[in-house]
Chain A
Amino acid sequence: MIHLWLPLALVCILAGAGAYGVIARRNAVLVLIGVELILNSANLLFVTMGSVRGDTLHTGHVLTLFLITIAAAEIGVALAVVLALFRKRGHIDLSEPGT
């Protein structure tokens, strides 16, 4: 038995930490790390709800697998964009205006 407030509290903390990382970081790769944390909090919420409300389609667990795949596609494209930005500007500081 697991009391459900424990995973839900972890979901809240992960989402908050990810939001802080997206806003407070200047390096583009570190912003992506914040985005990954937010995605993982969504994953944990999916898994928790899928374990609580066990439906016949196993929606929570299957959608978590899909979300992990989408996150892999997202990080691939995002890192390609970051590398293109680095080749064009010589740095990946997001706080400086583009040329």
Chain B
Amino acid sequence: MTTLDILFGSVGLIAAASAVLAVTTHQLVHAALWLVVTLGTLAGCYLILGAELVALVQLLVYVGAIVVLVLFALMLTRAPMGSSPEHSSSGIQRIAGAVIGASTTGLLAAVLLPALGGEVLAARAGDTTAIATQLFGSWVWPFELLSLLLLIALIAAFAVSRMPTTSPTSPTSPLPAETEST
């Protein structure tokens, strides 16, 4: 065990534990906050693996933007603040989810660990300059296409949020059809 092994092990343990907590906690806001812990510790993992640029982009985009969007969505859909176990499906579906999650883990481990688990990753300094050169050199057209994708996603989100609903009901009175029939 080297120093980086111990470092990655401790950070990765926090990431794995918070990921499991994010999908099992009964409080909606806590799930989003455990997701923050997972993404932040994953940025630390990238840093240990020698990918400084990816770690910083992860912090900026994921922790800074995506989690804020998730929290806004939780607020706008009137998420209850307290413990609300009805947001997890009950009984047999949870068991099926646990079985499928465990089998996903087992399948990936059975494929990845024997194939690559014995190798050793030599620690090296991050080469941000080389990555930037490649990103704006060889990868420049996919990069520009991604900006187009972001524009399309922006317009699509705008169009979906302005889409007229067929039955415009307010959330506080969810039964307008019956009041009309009476």
Chain A residues within 8 Å of B, Cβ to Cβ: 1-27, 29-30, 32-34, 36-37, 40, 43-45, 47-48, 50-52, 56-58, 61-62, 64-66, 68-77, 79-84, 86-92, 95, 99
Contact = CB atoms under 8 A, between A and B. Distances in A.
B101 A16 contact: yes
A24 B104 CA distance: 14
A68 to B, nearest CB: 5
A77 B94 contact: no
B81 to A, nearest CB: 14
A1 B72 CA distance: 41
A80 B156 contact: yes
Contacts of B146: 66, 69-70
B23 A37 contact: yes
B31 interface: yes
Contact of A15 (B86, B104, B153): B104
Nearest to A25: B88
Given A1-B2, A12-B112, A25 B69 contact: no
Contacts of B74: 29
4 interchain residue pairs of minimum CB distance: A20-B101, A16-B105, A21-B23, A24-B97
Contact of B88 (A26, A36, A61, A99): A26
Interface in B1-28: 1-2, 4-5, 8-9, 12, 15-16, 19-20, 22-24, 28
A66 B104 contact: no
6 contacts: A20-B98, A34-B23, A65-B135, A68-B54, A83-B73, A88-B167
